[in-house]
Structure 1
Amino acid sequence: MSWKKNLTITTILAGTTAIGIHLINKAIYVSATLDNLLSHTPENYYEWKFGKIFYRKAGNGKPILLIHDLSSYSSSYEWSYMIDELSKTRTVYALDLLGCGRSDKPALTYTNFLYVQMITDFIKNVIKSKTDVIVTGESSSFILGSCQNDHDIIDRIIMINPSDIQTSAHIPNSKTKILTKLIQLPLIGTLLYNILTQRKTIENLFCTEYFYDKNNISERDTKVYYEAAHIGNAESKNLFASISGRYLTSNIKLYLENLNNSIFIITGSKEKYLETASKYKDILPSIEITSIDKTSYLPQLEDPSGILEQINIYLDDPTEE
């Protein structure tokens, strides 16, 4: 067989494979977003310099900003069981971080400082006054960094299961950089991302990490998270690539040592979350810690009434502000 025939066969096979991968990726996108669950709330957008930021606004009173956990399948839906109650006495803002949910998902390297800038600008240009903040997990460092960046924009802070201080300080290495580049590839990278964020994987996260009691997990919750991971035709892989590459490193200890804000931590009842919270208190003894019984990583979904009770205790009556 001549080299011309070999080249022709190779070209045909490569083209067929590429088309097949494209069709698989497209099918996953269509099935994940078919129910269109994330579009059932009023839409507001803040035109930020790196893309549009989706947010919800409800109620009247002293502002409170809700920041969801950082993952490619997270969104402001995380707060959906709490917004109505909070809005009875406050002006509630719940946004989708850049790269998440209904916000834009540009192909760039996502860093801790990028989100510090985004949150700082959102408060200054949308909320336009000093605000209380409730934040979950890996996004906690963005709020602490925003406080250090500008002391006049954030008042009191409640962190729900904040990120581990040591893990947050991990920097990229050769292996994580390769993984980032692999995920960023147009077809193969998208397929890899789709495999790593399949419905079964997200359901397993809810059972093993997010909820204490798997009987409390609703099908709607897992469907929304799966949809959030794929809305925008898998553009969420851009954030996923940066997280996998450890490009969101932060020095939480340095942030804490320079803050005067009132800071509270709410944890799930698993011992590992209590241990992580205690490390924050070791650095800043003024931090108050409360655990919500029989909850895990996302108590605002599993026991919203328990979280609301603690918010009322920590933040007092906003009408007195």
Structure 2
Amino acid sequence: MSFTRCSLFSRQSSSDHSPSLLFTGLRWTFGAIALSLGAIAAVNTIITARTPPMGPRLNGLFGRYPARYGDLAYAIGGEGPPIVLVHSLDPGQSSASWRAVFDLLADDFTVYAFDWQGYGLSDPNPEGLNAREFGAQLRDFIRDIVGTKATVIAHGSAAPLVLEAAESGQINGLILVCPDGSAPDEPRQTERAEFLAQKEISDRLLEFPIIGTAVLNWWRSKPNLEREAHEFALWDKSQVENEARLWHVAAHQKGAQRAQKALLKGRFAAPWRELWKNSSTPALLVWGRHARGFESASEWGALRPDASLQVVENALLMPQLDAPQEFAGFVSEWVKKHTE
């Protein structure tokens, strides 16, 4: 049986110009790649140049805490027992996600809201930080700025980090809002090599300066963020456009891509089931009735039957924005009842 050669070479004898044709083909190939990368780089530059700077988005006093790996930006308001508000780790998230309830809670409590490193107005996070080191930011913030035990209200993907910090004994109450512990399951042994190889490839791809940034720019693009806000975050669709705009600005601040890469690489994963099950800190779980992941409430409840559950009707993943008065009301009642 014979095989037909590729037409590029089948028309040439060994003494003809196949090397030059190959070189020409490679030159055109790499030229096309260079043009594509150049276009991506230009888009990345334009997006960066057009992103306006952020300013404080919460009322109250603004401060900066010199944490171990850089400053944490925070706001403080009100008087009373301390509450610390902790935003999720998704692109564009910041302490601004608490703006609708910050003043309401400040009527009864001293309220702190900070930006994780790499988010909002805080300094960029160094490369390689993991969930335990991020959790230490919260633990140190409570120790040095709050100065006493505090109730922590954590949103979404920040829940595992807060559970890491809760082991320190500095948290006397946990309120987890639509907690997301969605670290990928450990692959079976027969699939582990393939899983690790795929992860290595994807991690390396994210580190290519132009391609990696292009991937992030798609992830944090305005259309993608608007879709997330519309389909998953907000029941009140009148808030979607403004919320997506706030996310888009925050997601493109200088240095924000480091934290976003860390999230994509799974560096913020933590053994949340073990941490949650073994925790004795009084806890309240909050979900929007129509939130993605609401079905996992049963698992969280089964792991800790002593935890309370509050369901907010007509809310998705951000009940603090969909129903701020209701949210502040039941949070205030629970904190007064369950914490020292």
TM-score normalized with structure 2 length: 0.82
Alpha-carbon distance between aligned partners in 2 of 1:256 and 1:77, rounded to the nearest angstrom: 27
1:30 aligned partner: 49
Which amino acid in 2 is paired with 1:224?
L
Which amino acid in 2 is paired with 1:28?
I
Task: Give the counterpart of 1:256 among 276, 281, 297.
Answer: 276
Alpha-carbon distance between aligned partners in 1 of 2:66 and 2:215, rounded to the nearest angstrom: 31
Task: Give the counterpart of 2:176 among 159, 165, 173.
Answer: 159
Task: Report matched runs for 1:173-192 at 5 Å.
Answer: 173-192=196-215
Alpha-carbon distance between aligned partners in 1 of 2:332 and 2:33, rounded to the nearest angstrom: 60
Alpha-carbon distance between aligned partners in 2 of 1:169 and 1:250, rounded to the nearest angstrom: 10
1:223 aligned partner: 245
Shift of 1:207: 1.0
Alpha-carbon distance between aligned partners in 1 of 2:63 and 2:153, rounded to the nearest angstrom: 20
Task: Give the counterpart of 1:142 among 161, 166, 179.
Answer: 161
Task: Give the counterpart of 1:198 among 186, 196, 221.
Answer: 221
Which amino acid in 1 is paired with 2:311?
S
Structure 1 residue ranges without an equivalent (≥5): none
Shift of 1:264: 0.3
Root-mean-square deviation (CA), in Å? 2.8
Structure 2 residue ranges without an equivalent (≥5): 1-16, 187-194
Count residues with an aligned counterpart.
310
State whether residues 170 and 249 of structure 1, in contact with CA within 8 Å, keep that contact through their aligned partners in structure 2. no
Alpha-carbon distance between aligned partners in 1 of 2:161 and 2:57, rounded to the nearest angstrom: 28
Alpha-carbon distance between aligned partners in 2 of 1:91 and 1:263, rounded to the nearest angstrom: 19
Alpha-carbon distance between aligned partners in 2 of 1:83 and 1:101, rounded to the nearest angstrom: 16
Shift of 1:21: 3.5
Task: Give the counterpart of 1:305 among 309, 318, 325.
Answer: 325
Task: Report matched runs for 1:1-321 at 5 Å.
Answer: 20-31=39-50, 33-34=51-52, 36-40=53-57, 43-148=62-167, 150-151=168-169, 153-164=170-181, 167-168=182-183, 170=185, 173-214=196-237, 216-232=238-254, 235-270=255-290, 273-316=293-336
Alpha-carbon distance between aligned partners in 1 of 2:126 and 2:31, rounded to the nearest angstrom: 30
1:47 counterpart SS class: strand
State whether residues 101 and 328 of structure 2, in contact with CA within 8 Å, keep that contact through their aligned partners in structure 1. yes
State whether residues 55 and 95 of structure 1, in contact with CA within 8 Å, keep that contact through their aligned partners in structure 2. yes
Shift of 1:39: 4.0
Q: Deviations over 1:118-177 (max 9, x none)?
A: 1111111111110011111111111111112x12x101111111114xx33536733233
Shift of 1:9: 9.6
Which amino acid in 2 is paired with 1:227?
V
Which amino acid in 1 is paired with 2:203?
T
Shift of 1:78: 0.3
Structure number with larger C-alpha Rg: 2
Which amino acid in 2 is paired with 1:24?
V
Q: Percent identity?
A: 21
Shift of 1:258: 2.3
Which amino acid in 1 is paired with 2:43?
I
Task: Kindly indicate whether structure 1 or structure 2 has the higher relative contact order, using CA contacts under 8 Å at least 6 residues apart.
Answer: 1
